Amino acid sequence: MKTLYILSIMLFFTLFASAQNEEDALKFSRIFPYGTARSAAMGGAFGALGGDLSTLSTNPGGIGVFRKSEVSFTSMLDFAHAKTNGFDYEKNMYLLGDLGFVLSFSPRSDKWKNINFGFNYTNLNNFNRNIYQGNFISKGSSLLDVWKNEADGTIREGLNPFTTSLAYDAYLLNLSKGSSDQYDIPIDSTNSMEELKYTRERGYQAEYAISVGANYDDKFYFGVTLGIQSLHFKSFSYYTEWLYGDNINSKLKGFTLEQEFTSSGTGVNFKVGMIYRPIPAIRIGVAVHTPTYYNIDAYALNWVSSEFVELPFEGADPSKEFKYGNGAHTNFEYKLKTPWRVMGSVATVIGQKAIISADYEYVDYSATKFTNNGSNNEYMATNNAIKTIYKGTHNFRVGAEYRFNSIFCLRGGYNYLASPYSKGEMNEKNKIQTISGGAGLNLGVFYADLAYLHKSSKINGLFYYYETEDVTISSPEFQTKFKDNEFRLTVGLRF
């Protein structure tokens, strides 16, 4: 089975009510909980350290490390680049990265040092980006060929209302003479098509973490977190094909498929974690995250339009200047279950001067699952594709900090997210790497941290792909490279 990455929404759906695909499952499951600037500067490798608000969403055992109450605010500035075929599009934005507090209480006990309660908001995913993929010349294949193959054998009234029916209304499909279920398209195998797509994505994924934890004898730190996640995603894209070349034997000039998709939802998860300090210089952390169970409301729109140089077919409407089009939209609801997560961490503190830490995380993306509220399982095919396309991943984070004195320190880190794609898939090498660094000022009651992150990845894709036992239709393959340059600033108070 050949599976592909198609940016944003697929160019065609079998049923719009089950329009969620395997890429949406990955989009909403592959998170980046960097949190505060200190954690981000150290690559997010804080699972065995604790004492930072970011750990409420990674290893809740870290809340037990706090010895004082604390409040902090993290702002982030992101410069996102997407480059395809020489086109480099940028999207700059300011976002809230992290905001929260911890209240620390000291019980009257020799062994129980602290009991702490915390609340924290953290940004898990930033969906804001602009992507332009253009100047691809295809000869002998077109999205029109896909629509024709989907439509053949289906009477007009049975065409898909969100794809082939819209193409029919735009005169991109027309019943063959004397047939009730075979269709013609206004191009042939001699025509070359210039294909391009523009995608604009907006939105975020965030978590509100409610945590409680404790410190037992300065050796065991443990905690639990109730995570309430909020998801907001909106995408607009247009895909166009225009006849290319000097000798064009077609009445068609070109056509456009526009798509809008929005989804908003709320999810719930539970996390438990602990940190063990066998000797003062060593810390070991373990955490387990349940799946996040989402309820999501979605809206989707398809619009197909065309432009001809003359009347496209006999009987076509001549009154619209040879420009035609129609659209269809729908609202629907669905459920999403993300994968379990298991984390192991180790850190060493060297003479109160230096810290070296490392995290390991296992996530099985093939366990992601869509369901719906109805009695029919509309997502069976999608869930089977998820099991085939994705696999378990081994992710790693390392970080270091060096204190020059009680006031100033420098930090660095590296974060590696392995590819979630199975061997043999087009994007089996789709790793995401982040290099980070930063500095911190500790003035006692007040502190400030600054971090810089450079995140990079690349992914291959096709505009369309159609395969049966008898025919395979494919657009030219392209590669998009993503680069994010991000700055985080945290200011906080201890009391």
Segment 319-369, tens digit of pLDDT: 778 999 999 999 999 999 999 999 999 999 998 899 999 999 999 999 999
Contact of 66 with 116, CB cutoff 8 Å: yes
pLDDT attached to residue 161: 95
Q: Cβ contacts of residue 130 below 8 Å, gap of 6+?
A: 80, 82, 89, 90, 91, 198, 199, 200, 201
pLDDT over 70 percentage in the chain: 95
* 9, pLDDT greater than 60: no
* 467, pLDDT greater than 80: yes
pLDDT over 90 percentage in the chain: 81
Residue 4 lies in a domain: no
* 34, pLDDT greater than 50: yes
Burial of 201 (C-beta count, 10 Å sphere; 0-12/13-18/19+) = buried
Residue 250 lies in a domain: yes
Residue 404 lies in a domain: yes
State the DSSP code for 292.
Answer: P
What is the pLDDT confidence band of residue 20, given thresholds at 50, 70 and 90?
Answer: low
Residue 477 lies in a domain: yes
Structure token digits, residue 362: 């296992």
pLDDT attached to residue 315: 79
> Rounded to whole angstroms, how far apart are CA atoms 223 and 274?
6
Residue 11 lies in a domain: no
Residue 357 lies in a domain: yes
> Any alpha helices (H) in 152-300, and if so which ranges?
164-169
Q: Give the residue from 451, 360, 447 showing the smallest Cα distance to 411.
A: 451
CATH number reported for the structural domain that contains residue 250 in this entry:
2.40.160.60
- Across the chain, which distance is largest between two alpha carbons, in Å? 92
Q: Which of helix, strand or coil describes residue 177? A: coil
What is the pLDDT confidence band of residue 470, given thresholds at 50, 70 and 90?
Answer: confident
Contact of 428 with 419, CB cutoff 8 Å: yes
* 99, pLDDT greater than 50: yes
Q: Which residue has the higher pLDDT, 188 or 230?
A: 230
Domain that holds residue 177: 16-494
What is the pLDDT confidence band of residue 313, given thresholds at 50, 70 and 90?
Answer: confident
Residue 337 lies in a domain: yes
Count Cβ atoms below 10 Å from residue 242 Cβ, excluding itself.
16
Q: What is the count of structural domains for the chain?
A: 1
Instruction: For 304-340, give the DSSP string.
Output: EEEEESS--STT--GGGTTEEEEEEEEEEEEEEEPPP
Looking at residue 341, its amino acid is R
Residue 31 lies in a domain: yes
